[in-house]
Amino acid sequence: ALAPRCGWALPGLEQRLAVPAVLSPASARPYAAAAKTAKKDAKRTRQEKVKEKPPPRRRPLMTKPVDDVYLTWLYRRPSYELEQAMGMLKKFQELDFTHPKQFVYINVFLDMALQKKKKVDPFTGSVTLPYRFTDEVNKVLVFTENAQEAEIAREHGAAVVGGVELIKWILEDEIQADFYVAVPAIIPKLIPLRNKLKRKYPSTRRNSLGSDIPKMLQFFRECHEYTVENENIIKTRIARLDMPTEHIIANLKAVIHDICTFKPSNYDPIVRRLVIRSSTSEGLLLNLDGILPQVEKAEEKEGKNAGDEDQEEPGQESVST
């Protein structure tokens, strides 16, 4: 500190006290780039080792446990015949002292795949069940500008009847219904409602567009609706547990057969797994044999037709002789 005043300085002190020039990070730490590259190489090597490592071999699941207490994840999930599963659900209700009139539900897991990367779009379906299990009646709105058709619609239980004047109220959510049906004459005027109603927009494909108003009203007031959730699952109720077993089975098959119509029959069945349960019970996996509709493959059909022709030929020859 006294060196500047005394006029003397140690050799090289000025150079050591001078402000160093600004250095780039690369020149300040010449080893940084090399360390970073080495780290990347090590990470890449670890990833390659993980890829080369064979996947762990899983023990094959066992079929049937031999004890009353067992680890469920070590065994395949058992599947039951429909009649057997219904007997178990009714037994669960008796043992658990739960409500006897609780709803019966099904969870349907779907195979939506088509050829290449195409697939079935999520859909909403409606079906008339052979045995009704609720007194609820759907609210149906009828679009018509014909006074006579409007009177027929009111007589057959339509909740709301009207023409284009209803468009404004529907767009503003002042009027809502479970289903919307229309006659062909008014459908060009309902285009503003297409984005609002979406799947509920009247169409011939859903049988909600036609001239037979009584028939449409009877179907949609009593029909059962189901919708695909999470891309490939349908969860819906089909009956009450206190109903006769044959009635529950008939309702289940009606819903399953209607679901199967949404995928062409020349592909694999759309229903992949089916689980049935009541409001308070566990889900039981069902055996699909006898539940899915029987569809003849085109090849089998051709073979059968060819066989019939071969059988008919000798008879035709004998007649001609």
Integer Cα distance of 183 and 84 in angstroms = 46
Residue 277 burial by Cβ neighbours in a 10 Å radius (0-12, 13-18, 19+)? middle
The token pair at 151 is: 């009177």
Locate all alpha helices (DSSP H) within 99-244, ordered by sequence. Answer: 147-155, 166-171, 194-197, 213-222
Integer Cα distance of 22 and 208 in angstroms = 79
The token pair at 3 is: 């060196």
Integer-rounded Cα Rg, in Å, for the chain is 36
Integer Cα distance of 270 and 307 in angstroms = 30
Integer Cα distance of 179 and 173 in angstroms = 14
Nearest to 140 by CA among 176, 172, 190, 170: 176
pLDDT for res 194: 93
The token pair at 48 is: 């390659």
pLDDT for res 318: 37
Nearest to 273 by CA among 283, 254, 287: 287
Nearest to 100 by CA among 109, 89, 114, 111: 89
How many of the other CB atoms lie within 10 Å of CB of 140? Answer: 25
Domains contained in the chain, CATH given: 79-122+232-293 (3.30.190.20), 132-221 (3.40.50.790)
- Name the residue type at position 75: Y
pLDDT for res 28: 52
Helix (H, G, I), strand (E, B) or coil at 80: strand
pLDDT for res 70: 75
pLDDT for res 316: 42
The token pair at 17 is: 């006290």
pLDDT tens, the chain, 321 aa long = 455 555 555 555 555 555 555 555 555 555 556 666 777 677 676 666 655 666 666 667 677 777 778 787 788 888 999 999 999 999 999 999 999 999 999 999 999 998 888 899 999 999 999 999 998 999 999 999 999 999 999 999 999 999 999 999 999 999 999 999 999 999 999 999 999 999 899 999 889 999 999 999 999 999 999 999 998 999 999 999 999 999 999 999 999 999 999 999 888 899 999 999 999 999 999 999 999 987 654 444 445 554 454 444 444 433 333
Residue 187 DSSP symbol? G
